Structure 1
């Protein structure tokens, strides 16, 4: 427990330069441990803590949880921002996503009104692994495999996850030794949701196979983020070099790139202009631009849009002349 508190102190100093923080609290073990760790920081670095709490009105226990966090903050002279998600605006489908949207909109509103620049959430290493595995199951492009980051832009400040390097077991052990009071969400035990199935059925097996599974996920996430960031920077550089004027691009420059870079550059160019095409369409575009036997022509890439090639130039237009 001492090591956790010490490393938390280091992480706080590294990622939280501001002296006021907003802590997203659910009354679960993760957020209550985060709140306790913040409260136990040395007085010289301890921030002014404000708490954001949402009663989602999804469980009968929420009334007791709301009463608990109100009393908790009152006793410790912590300012509490509390909001209810009224049942009449609950959607019939996609309730988890809707709840998250409501919650983070509330957090952003508080930050705007108070001027707080740092939002702290209690995401941890198990959350990272679960998110990674869920994305593998669902599929998509490789950018989507990037997991939860320690810090990212949010509202007019930053969202910071200081517990991301700690496992759920470490967090529970800290709570046990500190004799913390927290609430367990009964829905977390149900396998009706994909995340819970990943949490209960997949992650434990991975940990059994290798006790360092969580560390390995963190490492892969970090390596992937570095590679994607470096690739993105190089693609942006190529796009600048390839651009001839405000709307047109050089076919010759594009052809001078390796096959891999040509694909990445075209993909980024299409994304830049909000055009989403499947792999077959991308291959068709590459074949069209690389066809020296047809120096002029067009290819339809949308309902009313064309990619037009005229010798060394190509550009996008809503009609072909």
Structure 2
């Protein structure tokens, strides 16, 4: 099978679906991208495609960068290919963002390609990554990646911005591509920075790639198959994990996810790992902060016998275990919870965990754990609703002296994640009147002499 047949077969195998599309091709001027530009231009009628060449000048190599741009422009003008170029200041962006020049170049390059796609209304972005690049990527991830649940390499087809990103050359080796350029007299330039050992990828390319390709010249085909099969397995297992999550998750909000530990542990271990990954990804909004260590630490905590434990992960995310529940909480300290709100009679206060209301009743009546009756004439008004503060104590009904709320929460087994948010009702002097569901005070107890009764109610969300 020749090079062109190999690419056609790969396009069909990966279901790229490029027929009838407008494809923007990222062209640097190197042999890989120039070969891709030539191939798609030559096969434009076969696939009924329109093409636009996009060149991003990183301005990192002075006159060399300008010569790259000139080469691509001249080739496109001679062939009648639509051409767009953009210049970016990688050095300044890297300094502003405090990142390496390689990452800065990548971010600027793809942001400009997004704009070009929008400008020409392109549906596809084609990039010239090939089989050797795939080998390097897979090996680099194995050596450096902190997250074992990431895809092992580059995908041949994936969403990008409002379009689809494709890599038609992943079935080819670098040797194949250079031979294709020589055979078809395709001009190209060599980026001198590719020889620099300052870049990690270059070290893999210069040291490891020659060894593995000498051992097996077709390793790029095996690695590509490994990437495809393992990615499909990952997608399948992630789908099962998402289904299992529906039974395991008890509560899911913007910054908190609560799961049943018993139900979680009843699921197979590979799905447990992926469920934790899904939860963390949901709370972090991206997977960049998730590591295999996070997942292992969480699994260890959930499998232990301790009824309560806390695990602190990156960027303010905490995992709190309380009996049979586990709470994954992001930025749990909500400033709104610290506000003291006045509770009028009649009236309502909306709290993070529910609603506290006060109403007048004509006579004493039975109440549940979410309600309490007060002698209105014995209360220092106004009433207020707030969260607990350090040192809070209550004159608990039925016992002498006072009791610390911390001790009360522990004795009543209130989950630790709720203790900082749990509402309490106080009088005008700051004395605690009622801790819903848990304890009322000796203050303002209704007696036979009570004339005005107020009922307080707490309704959980």
Q: TM-score range by the shorter chain?
A: 0.7 to 0.9
Are the counterparts in 1 of residues 90 and 101 from structure 2 also a CA contact under 8 Å?
no
**Alpha-carbon distance between aligned partners in 2 of 1:267 and 1:285, rounded to the nearest angstrom:** 15
Q: CA RMSD in A?
A: 2.6
Q: Which contiguous aligned blocks of 4+ residues in structure 1 show a shift greater than 6 angstroms? A: none
Deviation at 1:304, TM superposition (A): 7.8
**Alpha-carbon distance between aligned partners in 1 of 2:89 and 2:275, rounded to the nearest angstrom:** 46
Which of 204, 207, 211 is the matching residue for 1:205?
Answer: 211
Which of 296, 303, 311 is the matching residue for 1:287?
Answer: 303
Task: Say which structure, 1 or 2, has more relative contact order (CA 8 Å, 6+ apart).
Answer: 1
Does the alignment pair 1:256 with 2:255?
A: no
**Alpha-carbon distance between aligned partners in 2 of 1:170 and 1:278, rounded to the nearest angstrom:** 42
Does the alignment pair 1:309 with 2:325?
A: no
How many residue pairs were aligned? Answer: 314
Are the counterparts in 2 of residues 31 and 122 from structure 1 also a CA contact under 8 Å?
yes
Residues 57-85 of structure 1: CA distance to partner in whole angstroms, max 9, x if unpaired? 11121222222222222222222111112
**Alpha-carbon distance between aligned partners in 1 of 2:297 and 2:19, rounded to the nearest angstrom:** 47
Equivalent residue number for residue 64 of structure 2 = 61
Deviation at 1:137, TM superposition (A): 2.2
Equivalent residue number for residue 136 of structure 2 = 130
**Alpha-carbon distance between aligned partners in 1 of 2:33 and 2:227, rounded to the nearest angstrom:** 23
Gaps of 5+ in 2: 333-416, 420-461
Q: Which range moves more in the overlay, 137-146 or 187-196?
A: 137-146
Are the counterparts in 2 of residues 308 and 320 from structure 1 also a CA contact under 8 Å?
no
> Structure 1 residues 107 and 18 mapped into 2: Cα distance closer, same or farther (>3 Å)?
farther
**Alpha-carbon distance between aligned partners in 1 of 2:76 and 2:19, rounded to the nearest angstrom:** 23
| TM-score scaled by length of structure 1 | 0.87
- TM alignment of 1:206-225, pairs within 5 A: 206-225=212-231
Deviation at 1:225, TM superposition (A): 0.8
Does the alignment pair 1:233 with 2:254?
A: no
Return the index of the structure with the highest Cα Rg. Answer: 2
Q: Determine helix, strand or coil for the equivalent of 1:43.
A: helix
**Alpha-carbon distance between aligned partners in 1 of 2:21 and 2:234, rounded to the nearest angstrom:** 33
Does the alignment pair 1:269 with 2:279?
A: yes
Deviation at 1:43, TM superposition (A): 2.4
Q: Determine helix, strand or coil for the equivalent of 1:22.
A: strand
Structure showing the higher helix proportion among its residues:
1
Are the counterparts in 2 of residues 50 and 78 from structure 1 also a CA contact under 8 Å?
yes
**Alpha-carbon distance between aligned partners in 1 of 2:184 and 2:2, rounded to the nearest angstrom:** 14
**Alpha-carbon distance between aligned partners in 1 of 2:196 and 2:326, rounded to the nearest angstrom:** 54
- TM alignment of 1:1-321, pairs within 5 A: 3-12=2-11, 14-15=15-16, 16-41=18-43, 43-59=45-61, 60-86=63-89, 89-92=92-95, 94-144=100-150, 146-246=152-252, 248-274=258-284, 276=290, 278=294, 281-288=297-304, 291=305, 294=307, 297=308, 299-301=310-312, 305=318, 307-309=320-322, 311=324, 313-316=325-328, 318=332, 319-321=417-419
Are the counterparts in 2 of residues 18 and 118 from structure 1 also a CA contact under 8 Å?
no
**Alpha-carbon distance between aligned partners in 2 of 1:175 and 1:117, rounded to the nearest angstrom:** 27
Q: Which range moves more in the overlay, 261-270 or 118-127?
A: 261-270
Q: Which range moves more in the overlay, 51-60 or 255-264?
A: 255-264
**Alpha-carbon distance between aligned partners in 2 of 1:81 and 1:244, rounded to the nearest angstrom:** 52
Structure showing the higher strand proportion among its residues:
2
> Structure 1 residues 202 and 156 mapped into 2: Cα distance closer, same or farther (>3 Å)?
same
| TM-score scaled by length of structure 2 | 0.62
Residues 215-245 of structure 1: CA distance to partner in whole angstroms, max 9, x if unpaired? 2211221221122111111111110121345
Deviation at 1:56, TM superposition (A): 1.1
**Alpha-carbon distance between aligned partners in 1 of 2:187 and 2:172, rounded to the nearest angstrom:** 19
Deviation at 1:258, TM superposition (A): 3.7
Are the counterparts in 2 of residues 23 and 52 from structure 1 also a CA contact under 8 Å?
yes
Are the counterparts in 2 of residues 18 and 117 from structure 1 also a CA contact under 8 Å?
no
Deviation at 1:139, TM superposition (A): 3.5
**Alpha-carbon distance between aligned partners in 1 of 2:154 and 2:281, rounded to the nearest angstrom:** 23
